[in-house]
């Protein structure tokens, strides 16, 4: 039997969050947190709307998932993220001890891997799921922003 | 004329925040954010109380200071922190473009400098102000916690 709840399925849900961010004029990054094939938290970047550099999609979703679970550790959870996390979000994911992260597009400039930021030893990483869709949305955002200025 | 508002003065205020965290059973770390010799934000670690790994003193104070200023960048601000920031908080400070951070105790284990996390090029760093007081409070917390378990 085919399981419809694969990495691509959940990354599409994260992409829907990124599109919501895009519609709000935010850098389009979206996230869902999943446990046992169930989405328990969603988030999209809100740094401009909230005037807050800490309001990345991942940070909000970590807080929301912990609130749902009633505990601060995201054991047995997977976070789907449309862009490689920055050092702040990777640091937060470290503290959360999340079981797995899956990200779509790489961020060779601000991504956590550039500076040697550590995830928790318990955290597995998969990348490249729906990479093209996530990258296309980000590129569209930055091209449109450049043309406006 | 002597200026009473020196680094030691503001670090004492950060230590008061750390003591508040200690009284709540939280790892005792405190923060104040200062602009023009005026404290515009305070924070102390609340990870246990809020069940949220992102609730470090620095994260809360960045959000509060940006809210006070009405803008997300903490230009011309100095953050006084009783412990060297972790990689999450250093990542958030990077995004804030804060002008200066001053921390008391080093954290050779979880501090941002261990993993090569970058602060913003605009951010100056001073360390060691009231180091002994901050370290003593942290040691007291961990000794008492060990004895309880």
B120: closest CA of chain A, how far (Å): 12
pLDDT computed for residue B3 by the predictor: 80
Q: What is the pLDDT of residues B119-142, one digit of tens each?
A: 999 999 999 999 999 999 999 999
Q: What is the pLDDT of residues A36-86, one digit of tens each?
A: 999 999 999 999 999 999 999 999 999 999 999 999 999 999 999 999 999
Q: Which residue, among A11, A15, A1, has the nearest Cα to A44 in the 3D structure?
A: A15
pLDDT computed for residue A148 by the predictor: 78
What the block records as the tokens of A122 is: 């318990």
Residue of A nearest to B47 (CA): A72
Q: What is the pLDDT of residues B44-97, one digit of tens each?
A: 999 999 999 999 999 999 999 999 999 999 999 999 999 999 999 999 999 999
Q: Which residues of A are catalytic?
A: 58
B52 contacts in A (CB within 8 Å)?
Answer: 62-63, 66-67, 72
pLDDT computed for residue B146 by the predictor: 87
A89 contacts in B (CB within 8 Å)?
Answer: 88, 91
Contact (CB, 8 A) for A72 and A62: no
For the whole model, what pTM was predicted?
Answer: 0.95
Contact (CB, 8 A) for A28 and A21: yes
What the block records as the tokens of A25 is: 């004029």
Inter-CA distances, A73 with A67, A119, B52, Å: 10, 14, 8
Contact (CB, 8 A) for B119 and B93: yes
Q: What is the pLDDT of residues A129-143, one digit of tens each?
A: 999 999 999 999 999
pLDDT computed for residue B145 by the predictor: 87
B86 contacts in A (CB within 8 Å)?
Answer: 91, 95
Range B70-99 burial, b when 16+ CB lie within 10 A, else e: eebbbeebbbbbbbbbbbbbbbbbbbbbbb
Give the count of alpha carbons within 13 A of B41, CB side only: 25
DSSP state of B74: -
What are the DSSP E strand ranges found in chain B?
30-35, 38-44, 78-83, 100-105, 124-127
Interface test with B, best of A33, A69, A84, A117 (most B CBs within 10 A): A117
Comparing CB atoms, the residue among A87, A92, A116 nearest residue B94 is A87
H-run or E-run covering B9: helix B7-23
Residues of B with CB under 8 A from a CB of A: 47-48, 51-54, 59, 62-63, 66-67, 70-73, 86-92, 94-96, 115-118
Contact (CB, 8 A) for A107 and A84: yes
Instruction: Decide if pLDDT at B143 tops 80.
Output: yes
Instruction: Decide if pLDDT at B2 tops 80.
Output: no
**B133 belongs to the catalytic site:** no
Residue of A nearest to B91 (CA): A88
What the block records as the tokens of A98 is: 């999340």
């Amino acid at each position: 039997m085919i399981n419809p709840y694969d990495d691509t399925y959940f990354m599409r849900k994260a992409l829907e969050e990124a599109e919501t961010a895009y519609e709000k004029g935010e850098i389009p990054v979206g996230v869902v947190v999943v446990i046992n094939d169930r989405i328990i938290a969603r988030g999209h970047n809100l740094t401009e709307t909230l005037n807050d550099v800490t309001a990345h999609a991942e940070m909000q979703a970590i807080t929301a998932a912990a609130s749902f679970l009633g505990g601060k550790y995201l054991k047995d959870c997977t976070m789907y993220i449309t862009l490689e996390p920055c050092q702040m979000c990777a640091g937060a994911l470290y503290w959360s001890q999340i079981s797995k992260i899956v990200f779509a597009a790489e961020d060779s400039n601000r991504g956590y891997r550039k500076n040697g930021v550590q995830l928790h030893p318990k955290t597995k990483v998969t990348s490249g799921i729906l990479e093209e869709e996530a990258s296309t949305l980000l590129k569209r955002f930055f091209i449109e922003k450049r043309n406006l200025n």
